[in-house]
Amino acid sequence: MTAVPGTALAGPLAAEARGRYASLIDALLRDGQAELAAQCADLAVAQGFWTNRQQRPVEFVAGGSTEPVYDAADFWFVAHLEANYDRIRAELNAVTDPGGRGFRPVEEPLLDAGRWDQVVLYEAGARQHRACELFPLLTEVIEQIPEATTLGPGVVTLSWLHPGAHIVPHCGRTNAQLRVHLGLRVPDGTSLRVGDRALAWTEGRCLVFDDSFEHEVWHRGSEPRVVLLLDVLYPDLDAGQRERLLARRGSAEDRIAAYLTAHDLTRIEADERGAVLRPAPGVDSLVRRYLAELGVRAVELVDGRPRFEYG
């Protein structure tokens, strides 16, 4: 493969390479190895997999976004959201316990300190009915923005970040969409970096940025920060690109099947202790062999160390 200067390589092999580079860079950043991560990003750019060391989507769409931050005034729905801020905030003011209003912890490698909760109202164009019932006023407002709901490429969520939280540097999956934040509760001490741009939320105002650029969030304040988050397609995509991107969103069943396949699982269920995952036959036999060799019936990871159960 040979890249044309200023463009990114296309095709399945290029996408796989970007995914592997992205995983390595993310691991280095989580480990605090920012210089090594930058060197890897520079190498990927030199080889034509990306065009900017700060913008590292696994899916790089020709004609997609190439800027980290956009003027919010250029998007019609920003005025709509800001005009309805008081109504949305009044509904949010009734929430003192996020867990009691549908928020669930975001437990993933992106969070290296603190706590982060969210409630998802729309995902890949699908309405999450229980969440929408919990926030009827907010739902009324967002459902007047089809670009984010029925025609949305990603999610509409309420994001509740607790004091002391830090979301490590990372890049979104695609440059075919933009992310919108409406500040709802914005205490002192919260900040956001997108690329080389330092940003701050303001209550009642929107930020619009491309999350395929490296971004990072800090909460050094003492009160929760809450934003409304919406994903919309990049507006300069042509009609064919938009149609293809929306057509492949798939149903919830499709996304679950893809998750099970990607993680070599055949079944997921929940019991009183949490989720139980059943691996595919090859993984199952490997795990059983390891346990038999150790003479244990179960193993649990506690503070980074295995805890064995015998008998």
- Structural domain of residue 285, as residue ranges? 255-309
Give a yes or no: residue 130 inside a domain. Answer: yes
Domain count across the chain: 3
Residue 24 sits in the same domain as residue 99: no
Residue 152 sits in the same domain as residue 31: no
Boundary residue ending a domain (249, 280, 295): 249
Q: Tens digit of pLDDT for each residue in 145-161?
A: 999 999 999 999 999 99
The answer to whether 213 and 193 have CB atoms below 8 angstroms apart is no
Between 61-65, 108-112, 117-121, the lowest mean confidence (pLDDT) is in 108-112
Average pLDDT over residues 96-116: 90
Residue 104 sits in the same domain as residue 4: no
Give a yes or no: residue 59 inside a domain. Answer: no
Residue 228 sits in the same domain as residue 115: yes
Residue 240 sits in the same domain as residue 290: no
Share of the chain above pLDDT 90, in %: 70
Classify strands 206-209 and 69-70 as parallel, antiparallel or unpaired: antiparallel
Residue 138 sits in the same domain as residue 239: yes
* Cα dihedral sign, 12-17-19-20: positive
Residue 200's pLDDT is 96
Give a yes or no: residue 189 inside a domain. Answer: yes
The answer to whether 56 and 44 have CB atoms below 8 angstroms apart is yes
310: DSSP letter: -
CATH number, domain at 176? 2.60.120.330
Q: Tens digit of pLDDT for each residue in 124-138?
A: 999 999 999 999 999
Residue 93 sits in the same domain as residue 146: yes
CA-nearest of 180, 194, 247, 189 to 220 is: 189
Q: Tens digit of pLDDT for each residue in 5-58?
A: 557 778 888 999 999 999 999 999 988 899 999 999 999 999 999 999 999 999
The answer to whether 2 and 48 have CB atoms below 8 angstroms apart is yes
